[in-house]
């Protein structure tokens, strides 16, 4: 089997496992997120498993932005619903996104530098 086919089959199997887990436990987490966590633990137990997944997983990650397009189109069709309140919404979204980016990155970098000063400076 080609590496891509084998990889996508494994990804779908883990997604099924994630969906099943979400249903059985009633956890309000999307199946794919649980599938990702299950796959992550599987990879920790058997690191060599990554070889059969890399082609499919990296290929999908490279084109991740394409996969958001259909949902994005659907969402933008609802934009008229916010017409009355567009100003507070636009300001809240813009300022809050900027603040969240800055606060997260600053906290992460500040703490990471205290743990490994040399490693945190790599810019590769």
Q: How far is the CB of 60 from other proteins (least distance, A)?
A: 4
Q: How far is the CB of 85 from other proteins (least distance, A)?
A: 5
How does 6-24 read in b/e, with b if 16+ C-beta sit within 10 Å? ebbebbeebbebbeebbee
Q: How far is the CB of 7 from other proteins (least distance, A)?
A: 8
Among 50, 19, 15, CA closest to 36 = 15
Q: Which residue has the tokens 């649980």?
A: 34
């Amino acid at each position: 089997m080609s590496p891509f086919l084998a990889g996508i089959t494994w990804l779908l199997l883990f997604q099924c496992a994630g969906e099943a887990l979400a249903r059985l436990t009633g956890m309000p987490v999307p199946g794919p997120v649980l599938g990702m966590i299950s796959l992550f633990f599987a990879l920790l137990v058997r690191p060599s498993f990554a070889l059969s997944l890399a082609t499919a997983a990296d290929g999908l990650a490279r084109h991740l932005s394409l996969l958001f397009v259909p949902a994005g189109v659907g969402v933008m069709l609802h934009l008229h619903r916010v017409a009355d309140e567009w100003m507070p919404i636009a300001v809240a979204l813009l300022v809050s996104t900027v603040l969240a980016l800055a606060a997260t990155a600053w906290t992460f970098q500040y703490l990471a530098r205290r743990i490994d000063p040399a490693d945190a400076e790599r810019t590769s």
